[in-house]
Amino acid sequence: MDTIRKPLPTSDSCFICGEENPRGLRARFFTEGEWTVLPVRPDSHLCGYPGVVHGGVIAAMLDECMGWAAARAIGRMCVTAELTVRYLHPTPAGVPLETRARCTRANRLLALTEAVLVDAQGTEYARATGKFMPLTDEETLRIDDGMRYRGDEVRVFEPLRRRLRGG
């Protein structure tokens, strides 16, 4: 079983992984076996109530992590068709948290996913399920061409790129 974390590419403008987005999380996604993982420490500027991470930020973390899980399963970038979030506890800011997502079922038209947001002690703050639809091959590669790769990232869309080149 592959439990080594391998980084995924980033997108400069993304609210979650955009390193150039001063209002976002500036986090990194990783693969860990079948899981897509997002370790974060949300700052106070992402709070609704003092010290409590805004529910929309939590939904975005779950959504984006499940989107990567769907993309890994289908081999194309995906968009959210449906997102269901269950908030279990107020999520504290300034502490290490981790979103973990995986694809539970996929075909070429739809991916079903699940995710959880937890702290280091295993407290679950939110759970989610999602349905994701893949973009076209061309849209996927256009987006991938704009991603930031440093050399060690998992190249999720390389099989698609090779297939379209005829190799």
- From CA 110, how far away is CA 35, in angstroms rounded? 18
Token pair listed for 159: 């099989």
**Distance separating alpha carbons of residues 97 and 114, to the nearest angstrom:** 17
8 A C-beta contact, residue 53 and residue 47: yes
CATH superfamily of 6-140+150-165: Hotdog Thioesterase (3.10.129.10)
Domain boundaries, the chain: 6-140+150-165
pLDDT tens digits for 1-11?
567 999 999 99
pLDDT digits (tens, 9 = 90+) for 125-149: 999 999 999 999 999 999 999 999 9
- List, in sequence order, every residue forming a beta bridge with 85; answer none if it has no partner: 128
Residue with tokens 């992984």: 17
Using DSSP's 3-state secondary structure scheme, residue 40 falls into strand
